Amino acid sequence: MKKIGLIVNPIAGMGGSVGLKGTDNAAAEAFRRGAIPRAGDRAKTALSELLSIKEELFIYTSQGSMGGEIAQELGFRTVIKPEALDDAGKAALMDAGTLPEPLSKTSAADTKSLAEWLLKKEVDLILFAGGDGTARDVYQAVELSACCVGIPAGVKIHSPVYAKNPKAAGQLALLWLTGKVSMTQEEEVLDIDEEQYRKEQINTRLYGYLKVPKERSFTQNRKAPTPLSDAAAIDSIAYEVVRQMEPDTFYIIGAGTTTRGVMEILGLKNTLIGVDLVYNKKLVANDLGGSELLSLIKEKRSKLIVTITGGQGFLFGRGNQQLTPDVIREVGKENIIILATKTKLAALSGRPLFVDTYDEELNHSLCGYYRAIAGYGETIVCRVSDHE
Amino acid sequence: MKRIDRSSKVRTGFHQAKWDEPIIYELSTPGERGILVGQPEKAVAEEVEGISAIPVGMARNTKLNLPEMSQSRVLRHYSRLAQQTLGADVNIEIGQGTCTVKYSPKVNDQLANLIREYHPLQDESTVQGILQIFHETDKYMCEISGMDHFSFQPSGGSQGIMTMASVIRSYFKDKSEDRDEIITTIYSHPSDAAAPAVAGFKIIYLQPDPRTGVPDLEQLKAVSGPRTAGYIVANPEDTGVYNSHVKEFVDHIHSIGGLCAYDQANANGLLGVTRARDAGFDMCFFNLHKTFSTPHGCGGPACGATGVQKNLVKYLPAPLVGFDGKKYFLDYETVSNPCAVGKVREWYGVAPVVLKAYCWIRSLGPNGLYQVAKTAVLNNNYMFKKLMELPEVSAYYEDGSNQRVEQARYSLENLTKETGIGTLDIQRRMMDFGMHYWTSHHPFYLPEPMTLEPTETPSKKDIDEYIETLKYVFKEAHENPEIIKTAPHRSVTHQVDESGMDDQATWALSWKTYLKKYTES
């Protein structure tokens, strides 16, 4: 019999589609803006990959939205952690009563205490659904004492402890549990250095390491910031983009240092991790959320300028969730302009770029070859895929 | 008398000469003279006009800034600098992947001395010999490549590519077709993109299939169309992997009206094996200073001999060298088409370079050239097998059926994972044993790359020495990584601060610029 631990951070990812840069301490605001919690669904997708070994598997988890609900729904044998939150704890963690009941009871402390319990229970693997924040919490509890796989469900996902997508996380877990993968590798637990971030510099900070099953195609590379020597490449790309800009067309500028170059050439204010909108080379708005963006570009001519996240190779789904499926559909595949420095592409080692929006049909329709702008008058052919 | 023990295969006692020699301007002593130029006799001075014959606008009006030094000091200066270079005459040049550094026979240098008094503006009737050599070398190149005419005017590989791109541009200008895109691959030489960009084209890079190492046809089809002017690629590429489907690529480009140009700067694995024209290419170029043995000369003089099929000859740079049955002549007529390239450089080619290439070809003959290819490929594959046995070394795009041709790109990522020592560290430490070592063009598409190319020149002993030295350094990486991290220790200089290399504001590419930027003038 195999034992796995399941930790779901139910509020993870909610900040993304509404333009918040993470959900920590912002869950209430996220709700106010209309965000829908999806971490549970993502965890479910991952867990579904383990249905083939249902009979030999026990899932250790907490009740309700932190994992129990999903495990039971799918019909797994479940062992629930006994709850021991006192009233003071509950009060401290509740978010002024504006959150739906089950969600208001969970927090970083719950994640950690569940992880500690899983360690005690000596599970074969810990599967956790969340973002960088969740990975940090898990790390603080288990360090290198357990084997872990991350199900990506958060907004900021820099840490390579996360699989490419929920399905891949489930598949990796299956390989591990059935002994087909037996090597582990320490992967970095990262998050954006918050002080640097406020100074408009993306700088990942290393928090620690988690042990992850070693299967290259399933986890993602460290999200590397663009090295200084790429500054010239970014300028060169930016000049090419500006040269190509058409009049009376909305340009959606995605997050990242490569896209920032475009805004700098135009002399416009930009948000490094947010989505900005430009029209006839003038700024329309900074830091838009998905629905705001959609209403501005609906039925108008628009183009979307995105970059791949350094080292990860994702176009959609890893920190630019403001670019919702509706927005992407409105823009149209042929109007997506990908920017990528040669160094960033080199880090992918020929693997395709991934799209992982919540809309699988859209993901599939976006697949194909694109000419990514890599410099002035230079493009590199990239393949976009929704699976390995 | 005790005999020196030479059983060690690794040159642990090597030390490069280290003279701490200043810039020559820093050696200048006011008033010191190397030569006193004799004054003319009175009778001569009265007869000849002298300096006053120089037009006013061209005459110098500032003092000539040459360092003031004695002859012996000048001699010492340059001899010391020579001792501080690790050139092809003193080291085993396996480490210069893609450069194809083979032995440049000294006898050919001697023969080239025969024409050192020649001038390109001499009347054709006085240089029939060298013109004949140009003409015959042209014929050899045509035989080797399948093309119909060569120009030797491009004086380097990049200029050869520029010439090919210019021929492509001429062709479409002549047809009044507006095509502005060139397709290449990321593993072709960077100049296959850069030179056409200078010629005015937009560049599209194909990426290789991560399993095979070469692009697939679907990708080419997805990005080619009515704006495609040409396909310019090297094959095998920098990785040493050969695209055996290249003809399908060529056929496709032709089907949409484009031209195909072959970068054969390094044709060392192909001589007598395959020809550019047989794969359908419309043009190709060879680096005489690579495949054809002329000295690399640290950036020149060199030649990127460029050949085209008969329909494109009229666009080649002027003049070509022709033969009318009786005499050799400079042919401007054949390339007088108004859309032709015109010129990429003065004159018609660097004569001593063409002469040395001609001598090399003559000394080998067709069977010899084929042997060159076979030996180069054998040497490389012997080395590949030996290196791949080491746990520190791996290679991408290995599917068991695609052997490398004349060079190979390896990865040291296993070494780096185990020890933290990377390819740039190894490069610096190899210098402590008198060896060159090359990584890759930038950016590094493969992690911790190492690109090596033996050519046909080294013996098995030489190759073994190179391998043993690498093994020695890998062992150090496990047991004493500090010595590698702080290398080089036995070279001309220690580690150089490269932090300003990216910053144009700090560059000073000549003494004059340095003075301007960094001193009070």
Q: What is the tens place of the pLDDT at every residue in B348-387?
A: 999 999 999 999 999 999 999 999 999 999 999 999 999 9
- Confidence at residue A119, expressed as pLDDT on a 0 to 100 scale: 94
Q: What is the tens place of the pLDDT at every residue in A106-124?
A: 678 889 999 999 999 999 9
- CA angle centred on B253, ends B249 and B256, rounded to 5°: 145
Least confident of A64-68, A198-202, B25-29, B204-208: A198-202
Please provide the distance, in angstroms rounded to a whole number, between the alpha carbons at the two ends of chain A.
30
- Confidence at residue A21, expressed as pLDDT on a 0 to 100 scale: 64
- The mean predicted confidence, pLDDT, of chain B is 93
Task: Tokens for B335, please give them.
Answer: 């390339």
- Confidence at residue A316, expressed as pLDDT on a 0 to 100 scale: 85
CB of B209 within 8 Å of a chain A CB? The answer is yes
- Confidence at residue A348, expressed as pLDDT on a 0 to 100 scale: 83
Chain-centroid distance of CA A120 in Å reads 29
CB of A350 within 8 Å of a chain B CB? The answer is yes
Q: What is the tens place of the pLDDT at every residue in A169-217?
A: 999 999 899 987 877 777 778 766 666 565 665 555 556 778 899 754 3
Contact yes or no for B186 and A380 at CB 8 A: yes
- Confidence at residue A347, expressed as pLDDT on a 0 to 100 scale: 78
Per the model's pLDDT, the better-predicted residue between A51 and A313 turns out to be A51
- Confidence at residue A90, expressed as pLDDT on a 0 to 100 scale: 59
Q: What is the tens place of the pLDDT at every residue in A252-262?
A: 999 877 898 99
- The mean predicted confidence, pLDDT, of chain A is 83
Q: Which of residues 424-443 of B touch A (CB under 8 A)?
A: 443
pLDDT band at B347 (very low <50, low <70, confident <90, very high): very high
- Mean pLDDT of the B61-76 span: 93
Q: What is the tens place of the pLDDT at every residue in B257-280?
A: 999 999 999 999 999 999 999 999
| Chain B residues with CB-CB distance to A380 below 8 A | 186, 204-205, 207
- Quick check: A223 pLDDT over 50? no
Residue of chain B with shortest Cα separation from A376: B202
Please provide the distance, in angstroms rounded to a whole number, between the alpha carbons at the two ends of chain B.
62
pLDDT band at A344 (very low <50, low <70, confident <90, very high): confident
pLDDT band at A310 (very low <50, low <70, confident <90, very high): very low
Q: Over A266-329, what HEC string results?
A: HCCCCCCCCCEEEECCEEEECCCCHHHHHHHHCCCCEEEEEECCCCCCEEECCCCCCCCHHHHH
CB of A371 within 8 Å of a chain B CB? The answer is yes
- Confidence at residue B521, expressed as pLDDT on a 0 to 100 scale: 54
Task: Tokens for B166, please give them.
Answer: 């210019």
Measured from the Cβ of residue B507, the count of other Cβ atoms closer than 10 Å reads 12
- Quick check: A64 pLDDT over 50? yes
* Whether B192 contacts B232, CB under 8 Å: yes
- Measured in angstroms, the CA of B225 and the nearest CA of chain A are apart by 13
Q: Which helix (H) or strand (E) holds B142?
A: helix B128-145
Beta-ladder partners of B203: A378, B182
- Quick check: A331 pLDDT over 70? yes
pLDDT band at A230 (very low <50, low <70, confident <90, very high): low
- Quick check: A127 pLDDT over 90? yes
Angle between helices B351-388 and B128-145 (to 10 degrees): 30
Contact yes or no for B210 and A351 at CB 8 A: yes
Whether pTM exceeds 0.80: no
Contact yes or no for A349 and B447 at CB 8 A: yes
- Confidence at residue A218, expressed as pLDDT on a 0 to 100 scale: 42
- Quick check: A311 pLDDT over 60? no
**Nearest CB to A346: which of B204, B209, B445?**
B445
- Quick check: A88 pLDDT over 70? no
| Chain B residues with CB-CB distance to A368 below 8 A | 222
Q: What is the tens place of the pLDDT at every residue in B441-469?
A: 888 889 999 999 999 999 999 999 999 99
What is the C-alpha separation between A227 and A247, in angstroms, rounded? 33
CB of A235 within 8 Å of a chain B CB? The answer is no
Q: Examine the predicted complex and report whether its ipTM is higher than 0.90.
A: no
What proportion of chain B, given as a percentage, has pLDDT over 70?
Answer: 98
What proportion of chain A, given as a percentage, has pLDDT over 90?
Answer: 51
Query: Nearest to residue A207, comparing CAs of A219, A221, A223, A193?
Result: A193
- Confidence at residue B496, expressed as pLDDT on a 0 to 100 scale: 74
- Quick check: A103 pLDDT over 70? no
| Chain A residues with CB-CB distance to B502 below 8 A | 228-229, 231-232
- Measured in angstroms, the CA of B218 and the nearest CA of chain A are apart by 9
- Confidence at residue B248, expressed as pLDDT on a 0 to 100 scale: 97
| Chain A residues with CB-CB distance to B208 below 8 A | 350
* Whether B197 contacts B227, CB under 8 Å: no
- Measured in angstroms, the CA of A379 and the nearest CA of chain B are apart by 5
- Confidence at residue B122, expressed as pLDDT on a 0 to 100 scale: 94
pLDDT band at B210 (very low <50, low <70, confident <90, very high): confident
- Measured in angstroms, the CA of A214 and the nearest CA of chain B are apart by 14
Q: Distances in Å between the alpha carbon of A243 and those of A302, A322, A332, A377?
A: 16, 26, 21, 10
pLDDT band at A225 (very low <50, low <70, confident <90, very high): very low
| Chain B residues with CB-CB distance to A377 below 8 A | 197, 201-203
Measured from the Cβ of residue A385, the count of other Cβ atoms closer than 10 Å reads 17
- Quick check: A75 pLDDT over 50? yes
Q: Which helix (H) or strand (E) holds A173?
A: helix A166-177
Q: Distances in Å between the alpha carbon of B106 and those of A12, A66, A91, B425?
A: 72, 78, 89, 34
- Mean pLDDT of the B296-307 span: 86
- Confidence at residue A228, expressed as pLDDT on a 0 to 100 scale: 42
- Confidence at residue A93, expressed as pLDDT on a 0 to 100 scale: 53
Task: Tokens for A163, please give them.
Answer: 């699989």
- Confidence at residue B401, expressed as pLDDT on a 0 to 100 scale: 78
Task: Tokens for B443, please give them.
Answer: 């950016």
According to the per-residue pLDDT averaged within each range, which of A14-23, A318-327, B10-19, B133-142 is highest? B133-142
- Confidence at residue B502, expressed as pLDDT on a 0 to 100 scale: 57
